Structure 1
Amino acid sequence: MEGWWCKWPGANIGIATGKGSGIVVIDIDRKEGIDGEEAIGDRQLPDTVEQTTGSGGRHLIYIRPKTDKKYRTYTNIPNQPQGR
């Protein structure tokens, strides 16, 4: 890892998401005319670890619920359950 940071100091860090990882990330974009904050509106999301993205959006990181229930995907919030 240290060698990678020396070679690519501006690289982004990625994490595995989805069923196998136990992590789910809500990606709230603010780019290409999309404002994910508008899609969330007044919905109250649980407090969690948050990352600001390069485009000014947010990644909200949660422990994945232990269920196979399908949840609604809101407009302007991409659904990428198994990562990118």
Structure 2
Amino acid sequence: MAAEEKLVVIISTEGQVALPSAIGKRRKWGAGTRLLVEDTPEGVLLKPAPAFTTTRPEDVFGSLPHRGRPKTLEEMDARSVRTALKP
């Protein structure tokens, strides 16, 4: 499909639009792909939806149980260095 080629789609009575298969194949969007729909001044933008929602540290802080004394920053840093050096 040429870049300048214009494709026309029709909105169904339910408000649905079928994406041309050439676009779906090029983007590797198969059946069941979740897309975000964004209304922009230039038109409608479709983007793949992320597999997971964005999580901030404060959303999950303290959610895992822990027994024992808290680790110091130095202990955590030392552990991460040892883990990174393992083959």
Higher relative contact order (CA 8 A, sep 6+): 1
Instruction: Check whether TM > 0.5.
Output: no
Between structures 1 and 2, the one with greater helix share: 2
Larger radius of gyration: 2
